[in-house]
Amino acid sequence: MSSVTISPITNLPEIDPTSDLLTLLAGSEPQLREGDILVVTQKVVSKWENRLVRLDSVTPSRRARDMATKYDKHPGLVELVLQESQELLREEHGVLISRTHHGFVCANAGIDLSNVDGGETACLLPKDCDRSARNIGTALSERLGFHLPVIVSDSFGRPWRLGITNVALGAWGLAVLLDHRGSKDTHGLEMKATVIGVADSLAASTELVVGKTTGYGAALVRGYRYVKDCESTVNSSVRPWFQCFFT
């Protein structure tokens, strides 16, 4: 066992598609060290990758206009939700729950209006969150001279629980799952179903220092002894749809 510390990266300015994000992260405050894990919020990554769409530039479909009227939403936002979704699963009480093209089940296909420009522009999820993490992680590892795992995080609601918590949308450089099946617990009983969501747990922990109103867009986790794995992805940890019991 080891102690773990979580620290916000305090030197990131407002990020846009012209920002030199890699240089900013390489010179982070506090300084990144070997053994650290870097967690970058989806909003920072999406802005950097220019996943921004002005709502008044979107031409809504008839379906989007009807839903927007019904739920008092911007028709451009509803159209983007439909475009970013494999399937719209629920639309009740003004909440749109969809399964995104990544396979994530979340509200509004993960599209967010907060912390952009006051509600005129929508921020979409990265097209490939694992690829985003890999691009940042490999580039920083080369610059810094040591292996640096990267997680892209975002906040999701939870079934049967109030309150949102951060999850991993993408990851590179570490095993996203820790499989304890086949090992023995402290009383000698063989564990048959325990698989720990390591990347999600690490992402969730950073919400305690990053928050939604601090202006911080990244955090470092120090002291967690991760399993190095450059092939492990969050996409591979998404539960197959046929195994979802409540669909």
The tokens describing 227, both together, are: 């399993």
Domain stops at, among 100, 122, 144: 122
Per-residue pLDDT of the chain (247 residues; tens, 9 = 90+): 579 999 999 999 999 999 999 999 999 999 999 999 999 999 999 999 999 999 999 999 999 999 999 999 999 999 999 999 999 999 888 889 999 999 999 999 999 887 777 778 999 999 999 999 999 999 999 999 999 999 999 999 888 899 999 999 999 999 999 888 888 878 788 887 788 899 999 999 999 999 776 779 999 999 999 999 999 999 999 988 888 777 6
Q: Got the DSSP string for 91-125? A: EETTEEEEEETTS-EEEGGG-B-TTTSSSSEEEPP
Cα 198 off chain centre by: 14
46 shares its domain with 145: yes
Report if residue 181 sits inside a domain.
Answer: yes
CATH number of 200's domain: 3.30.1330.100
Q: Got the DSSP string for 50-75? A: T-EEEGGG----HHHHHHHHHHT--H
CATH number of 63's domain: 3.90.1660.10
Report if residue 244 sits inside a domain.
Answer: no
150 shares its domain with 186: yes
Domain stops at, among 95, 122, 149: 122
Report if residue 246 sits inside a domain.
Answer: no
132 shares its domain with 188: yes
Report if residue 142 sits inside a domain.
Answer: yes
Cβ–Cβ < 8 Å for 123, 47: yes
Q: How many domains does the chain have?
A: 2
223 shares its domain with 102: no
113 shares its domain with 231: no
Q: How far is CA 179 from CA 107, 198, 244, in A?
A: 29, 10, 20
Containing structural domain, residue 88 = 52-122
Tell me the residue length of the chain: 247
